[in-house]
Structure 1
């Protein structure tokens, strides 16, 4: 940091501690003039303005912050600042419209570049060579006032005579953004502009503290989360099985199914999340039908990607090989009482249950049906028959209307089975699975907790 900028910043912090907000604002103004691209300084200045009741000034600073994050490809942080702006002044929607122009799905022919309005350009360096390698994160301390507002604490009253022309930094320059260099964002970039804006308006900001449980395994969920800043741990019991950082989505199954949470998610450190509620998305989909299709496709892609990444069947494949496999899955919509796998016959393919429930049973030598644990959303089945090239060991039948993704047998044999690691595991899998099946069939029905078709 430039010595002069540091001096003004340290002075501002000292004045803040003494409760001298106007003088602190003046010091931050000096620092911003010297370092206009510093989004942390602008966030702190915007926070001080807001505490002084200077809402127009605060919005101007936060707009510049949102513009910089948007230009840098950090859409989630830009949306978080946009939500702050809408909380201060719901009528100030220029930032929202601009983010939709930059990141929403483009209709027809769109220009290769986009001009940021001057109100969002001052923090964007004019020369790309001067752009910082890593932009500063959101200053969660400065945004604490909005956390208080969400908890029911009113924002400071507007100053009675705020001079809207007394802005700290003005610029007639309109920053030019090369749209081809902006990374697409899962979900958001698939929405058209109107739907994008409605989703942004309806999502919630959720601050989390280290060790706070966000979702709990086994509980019913009704919302999905996006990590804007921070890290969360995915847990089964007391064991951490994965860590997710900025940009990660979790809990998306709750948007389309009534299944309980499959794991717990706990904040590894203080951070900020988006929470998107199922009921609000359904409300938006009523006015924008395309949203329902986008959510369904998002859920399907996420579930399939998780299966391809986590399943031992596909784990030996490279990323490129998994991508080719994923393109071959076919979606089926099936009514109740549809037989998906039939005991004694070859399986049609490798299947993933997207929606609904299926019963599983083994038919004994005398024709009696031995029920096994039901399949639920996210479960896979049919892999044994494919791997061992043998008849199915049980029957799977839909109990409700179901959505199933299937990798056809021929594509499985062509794209998966030739892998040397998969070939070597087939013999081991054959012995283990068939031994387990034989063991299970010798037990009482009530103690068959883990049968896999």
Structure 2
């Protein structure tokens, strides 16, 4: 009995040493060897030691991976999940469930360098439920993590390693985009709306990931509704931050003003066939297409339609009408169910157009967009006077 206790303590000490090295794959491989040799209790002690060491060392994702290995061998184990939740979950701040606005306010205060918002905004019970719902994936160099074009319904967190985002261009060539590195996430929008993956993910080095599927999310959020509100806030914030960083209508703003504008965006779901912009009407919002596909089209006097190039995920629509204060000149219709970010005209007026020099700069951007659209229209032989959406 004493020998067993000594061995248990030795493996917990060894786990602490391995965790200090920071290499997840090396640490896990040692205790997998114990599993293969039938030394199950020593493996359990090792995994528990890793989970605790990484949890106390501000490495939440690594701690979760070690905890998943532990509960695989000891399904009734609960103390390590409780420990991790006690360190990272949000402590209750008053009675009742958080509203979406309260979740947004908490997200504003999160430091992404020190936390994983999808976990750390949850209360303890929801945190443990999410920990149980995620699954560990390991990928070799060159292995496809997510395949472009497949029906996506899961997101991944990069725990250790690196994976490259890849897209197929119109000419059929492959383009490698930015990499997902440790602590990064990919595919979160598929948790809110299923559809073909607009990009793939390929492991650049041996990698360990955590995966959350839409199916598991719906199961857990049925018991913990807060989780879905946190997921929506997390997805909205990530999409807004990317838009503010890359689109000239927003990237010209000072950082402090960008953060103010970020709070004004809202997620909007529409069904296939929904008209988002109506020709001749005053534009009432800017939209970012997150999931789905839309077609702008010109309606001729005789009623027949001529389509423009299809709008795909990542495209912005409606901004020209606001920038130039002109009626919308093309209809835009959702081809499939879509998920969008919407920023109302009133928010644009308050936070963007009111900034010194912004309207003139944006007018120049709008004029250039109109010139490019005019060239497209000329190629399609549409009547003179049409413009972009």
TM-score higher than 0.5: yes
Change (3 A) 1:406 1:57: same
* Residue of structure 2 aligned with 1:200, choices 107, 131, 136: 131
- 1:343 corresponds to 2:279: yes
State the alpha-carbon separation in 2 of the partners of residues 321 and 275 from structure 1.
Answer: 34
State the alpha-carbon separation in 1 of the partners of residues 147 and 29 from structure 2.
Answer: 35
State the alpha-carbon separation in 2 of the partners of residues 44 and 402 from structure 1.
Answer: 43
Normalised to the residue count of structure 2, the TM-score between the two structures is: 0.77
Aligned to 1:64: 49
Contact 1:105 1:190 in 2 (8 A): yes
- 1:234 corresponds to 2:165: yes
- 1:249 corresponds to 2:178: no
Alignment of 1:7-406 (within 5 A): 29=10, 32=13, 37-39=17-19, 46-108=31-93, 183-237=114-168, 238-332=174-268, 339-353=275-289, 358-365=294-301, 368-373=304-309, 375=311, 378-397=314-333, 404-406=340-342
State the alpha-carbon separation in 2 of the partners of residues 84 and 204 from structure 1.
Answer: 10
Aligned to 1:406, the other structure's residue is in SS state strand
Aligned to 1:427: 364
Q: Which moved more, 1:261-270 or 1:307-316?
A: 307-316
Contact 2:16 2:49 in 1 (8 A): no
State the alpha-carbon separation in 1 of the partners of residues 12 and 123 from structure 2.
Answer: 39
Q: Which has the higher helix share?
A: 2
State the alpha-carbon separation in 2 of the partners of residues 426 and 436 from structure 1.
Answer: 14
Aligned to 2:327, the other structure's residue is in SS state coil
1:284-311, Cα deviation, whole Å (9 max, x unpaired): 2233333333333332222222222232
Pick the structure with greater CA Rg.
1
Number of aligned residue pairs: give it: 353
State the alpha-carbon separation in 1 of the partners of residues 90 and 166 from structure 2.
Answer: 34
State the alpha-carbon separation in 1 of the partners of residues 339 and 187 from structure 2.
Answer: 19
Offset, 1:263: 1.4
CA RMSD in angstroms comes to 3.6
Structure 1: gaps spanning 5 or more residues: 1-24, 111-179, 446-450
Change (3 A) 1:226 1:36: closer
Change (3 A) 1:188 1:436: same
* Residue of structure 1 aligned with 2:375, choices 423, 431, 439: 439
Offset, 1:234: 1.4
